[in-house]
Structure 1
């Protein structure tokens, strides 16, 4: 150390490389190099040893797999006319967290969506903490594009399909409907949901950080469209049947009605109309009663329309030859303290006369001569007390009471159509045995490529004999004369049934029925008409239901080009 001027010594500044300084320097440099080595090692680990993890994390933020909607199969009538088709629509959705707070943009969005701004703001507030909400579903592609053209961040689209029903209310209960997700909810749409729906496809897409589509990358699986369903319905006959049924229900102030028309040679359902109905394309204010396919799911006491079927069972016993005469005087009888009545005293009646006059006394006296349950056994053989097997959701099987519970009055009541329950479709199907020489055909809602094998349930000679009796029922001067079809022979039977209520049969509530086969000489059509609780005065089946059959069958025979078999003029008596 050199002495400072004045003799004082000046302290010396420590060197950077002094032992303590060098140690700190080495420590800092070591830490820096260690950090760099760890960083490099992590980079190598991510890019070489754990590359899949890094790639997955990146893809999760950019790659998405979208569903490709499958086109729902079309439902057509037997001639290929569309009854249910799917049209492309667009559903708009949004990520509320990405939507801008700009009031002008939100006003533009609300107007383009056709919504009230305050309502839209309220919905956005409810979904503010979520990443998804629907803006509007099932828009036309053109309307949706006008919204997308606003280029508002957070607004996205999804391509979907919407079901449309060209026939509207005319065949609504049979076809059914789909929900907003295009899944079957009622009718054949529900019954054949897996077949009609198809299988959705999948595609991989690239999106940016705001969820906007950048480009399609690959189709992982093509969508498989649903299968088409061809019904047995003839749309021409369906429109005509619906029109006539609706007019009859309105004319008589009735609660409702059904009409079922079958092809007598195949059992196919050519028309099935219901009242009340609804428009499946606009379900606002829908009356739930209109959803029900009454022809298949509702059952009722059929009354006198069962008498030809019961007569077939009685004739097969061999106890009642063609010349049998039954004394129905005095027009009433008491069994088990229960009074059975005819409309009036018909006196002595032949077997054909019992059907023509619809005599409850005649049917009862014939039935009570037998010890075996031939009538209920015949009903079961004809398909009553079991579901028709069409596959329609909720199809009813009806009921035939068990024999061990029968009293004499119940035994008699079964012969004239009381004490059991049936559906309109079951009733029409049972009469295929009368029209086909004793062979019953199962009903079908789908078009058949060939006629099914019939089930023999009635002796052929007996079936033909009953058909001839029914032909005499529908003649000028009879109660069923209003069912006559100019140019064609008609075999039929009327029915008028009291409705039941909370305290038994009601005094002023009826169901009016008619079952007809035409032409009687070579059956092509079978139709059942039921009008529920007509209130405008007339309520007998011959006055209310028979005229509907006449109009419907007459038009149908001409549409199907069936040649007339009765050229002489039939004048109503």
Structure 2
């Protein structure tokens, strides 16, 4: 009996052990299978992903820069295809060898190449705008040297537009002008294209690699009309060379909107040199150069006088009053004009008469008008680096300072500030800030600041004064057959920093608008340091006339010279005789 129980017990233990071993074996096999599955399937893809990412190479995808156009769609700053050479650090095996190859193929010299390759960049730009034959000679021949055909900045008629547009560097980053100010808008967003690197160094596209295509920058449309700009540039060039001047400038403003149709200066520079020219010529003269305006500034005192209702019939200059002595300084006129009333003083531009007028008005009224005509504030035109006028504070203004101010010396302004002040008179006393940008990315950008700064009746009287200057005063050479012109001459002694006023150094200008009664355009012509002749009546007045003639020869502006012009006013058509 005991033997039977013993055998049965042993048999149960064997069965239990057998089941345990069977279960353990099953679990062990299952673990092995799962482990193999993990390693062969799951881990394989994970390791593959890790390896793919480590061996991934991103090639730089350069964004195309936005185009800058004139108001008619003419492309001033555009893009052309060019060959650019880069080196990928991830594909680079021997810096010295690559530097030697680049040097031998006349891309850059050996030491320049080595310096670039020692930079921290993974994607090293070596040279842009490489000649096609040199670039193609390297293409696909060397593993780490990448030749890419990309869009590169190019300027049409660069000398004509350079003072407005500026330029980009060889890396297509804006460095001057509108290219600089609106660089973020124009440059777009760079992207990349991903490749895989095989152990042997060759690259290929992987279906799982992510690409980020470059995004083109926004286009910008200017208020400039290339026909106006080109004509004004050629006139500025002719007059600058004729008088051996330092600079000639012409600004044309659409009177009723403040849109700049031309801002032309000579000498200029070639934007396609990307900053390799004379650095002193890069700045926009119209907005960054401060100068003393001279007699064109007399509209400020004239406006203050008319607003104050000063008796304009009173004499401002006596018969034999040919010199004023103020603070031991002499103030004279260009000629002995004899007796002069207010209108006559303005027409012949008498300094003595306007100093006497200033005494009657007082400093406060004159300073107030200077401020209202925006000479002490930026025009907000859209140009970079715009300067503001400079004038000594009224509390520090001595008698001689104020006397000089009365005929436009002792105050510094920009050309754009000056033409904008005249445009205020053209618009019957409403100041409209000038604008250079018309559209950004198909969205209108013209947001004019319009504010009345002079009463309309005062502005209309100023117009009559400016017309008289052209008809019978110092501006007779600004006349144009068939067009009524209003304007004022200015011949200012030039102040040289750290030197003072120097004999023979002048800035001559003429500011005005046409047609005088219903202005279409407001214009400033200016010549800096002319030689042999410097009177504005002789050089910048005829220069103004030449600009007007070029404009009215354009088909859409010939109506301005018709014998009878139809003017739609208050919905009623009437015939306005030519004045």
Is the pair's TM-score, using the shorter chain for normalization, greater than 0.5? yes
Work out whether 1:194 is the aligned partner of 2:184.
Answer: yes
Work out whether 1:206 is the aligned partner of 2:172.
Answer: no
Structure 1 unaligned runs (5+)? 1-39, 569-573
Q: Which position in structure 2 is the counterpart of 1:91?
A: 84
- Deviation of 1:100 after TM superposition, in Å, equals 11
| Most deviating of 297-306 and 130-139 | 130-139
Matches within 5 A, 1:550-569: 550-559=545-554, 560-564=556-560
Matches within 5 A, 1:493-512: 493-501=488-496, 502-512=498-508
Of residues 399, 422, 427 in structure 2, which corresponds to 1:436? 427
Residues 516-573 of structure 1: CA deviation (Å, up to 9, x unaligned):
21111211111111211112x10111112122111112111332414345869xxxxx
Compare the two structures and name the one with the higher strand fraction.
2
Q: Which position in structure 1 is the counterpart of 2:19?
A: none
Of residues 530, 534, 537 in structure 2, which corresponds to 1:542? 537
Q: Which position in structure 2 is the counterpart of 1:341?
A: 332
Distance 2:38 2:283 in 1: 67
Distance 1:260 1:172 in 2: 15
Q: Which position in structure 2 is the counterpart of 1:30?
A: none
Contact 1:512 1:531 in 2 (8 A): yes
Distance 2:471 2:133 in 1: 61
Contact 1:376 1:414 in 2 (8 A): no
Work out whether 1:280 is the aligned partner of 2:271.
Answer: yes
Report SS of the residue matched to 1:326.
strand
Distance 2:246 2:142 in 1: 53
Closer/same/farther in 2, CA of residues 102 and 278 from structure 1, 3 Å limit:
closer
Report SS of the residue matched to 1:393.
coil
Distance 1:519 1:250 in 2: 29
Closer/same/farther in 2, CA of residues 462 and 46 from structure 1, 3 Å limit:
same
Q: Which position in structure 2 is the counterpart of 1:173?
A: 163
Work out whether 1:185 is the aligned partner of 2:168.
Answer: no
Work out whether 1:455 is the aligned partner of 2:448.
Answer: no
Work out whether 1:489 is the aligned partner of 2:484.
Answer: yes
Q: Which position in structure 2 is the counterpart of 1:311?
A: 302
Matches within 5 A, 1:104-123: 113-115=105-107, 119-120=109-110
Kindly name which structure, 1 or 2, has the bigger radius of gyration based on alpha carbons.
1
Contact 1:375 1:414 in 2 (8 A): no
Contact 1:489 1:565 in 2 (8 A): no
Distance 1:520 1:474 in 2: 10
Contact 2:552 2:561 in 1 (8 A): no
- Deviation of 1:283 after TM superposition, in Å, equals 4.8
Q: Which position in structure 1 is the counterpart of 2:21?
A: none
Distance 1:161 1:419 in 2: 49
Give the root-mean-square deviation of aligned CA atoms: 3.2
Contact 2:435 2:448 in 1 (8 A): no
Report SS of the residue matched to 1:523.
coil
Work out whether 1:513 is the aligned partner of 2:503.
Answer: no
Q: Which position in structure 2 is the counterpart of 1:526?
A: 522
Structure-1-length-normalised TM-score: 0.83
Contact 1:99 1:153 in 2 (8 A): no
- Deviation of 1:257 after TM superposition, in Å, equals 2.3
Closer/same/farther in 2, CA of residues 179 and 42 from structure 1, 3 Å limit:
farther
Contact 1:265 1:524 in 2 (8 A): yes
Q: Which position in structure 2 is the counterpart of 1:389?
A: 380
Residues 443-465 of structure 1: CA deviation (Å, up to 9, x unaligned):
10022767846210111111111
Matches within 5 A, 1:368-379: 368-371=359-362, 373-379=364-370
Work out whether 1:80 is the aligned partner of 2:73.
Answer: yes
Contact 1:332 1:340 in 2 (8 A): yes
Report SS of the residue matched to 2:352.
helix
Contact 2:73 2:221 in 1 (8 A): yes
| Most deviating of 349-358 and 367-376 | 367-376
Closer/same/farther in 2, CA of residues 78 and 284 from structure 1, 3 Å limit:
closer
- Deviation of 1:275 after TM superposition, in Å, equals 2.3
Residues 484-536 of structure 1: CA deviation (Å, up to 9, x unaligned):
1222111111111111233321111111111121111211111111211112x
Distance 1:425 1:431 in 2: 10
Work out whether 1:71 is the aligned partner of 2:67.
Answer: no
Q: Which position in structure 2 is the counterpart of 1:324?
A: 314
Distance 2:488 2:393 in 1: 26
Contact 1:88 1:161 in 2 (8 A): yes
Report SS of the residue matched to 1:522.
coil
> How many aligned positions are there?
520
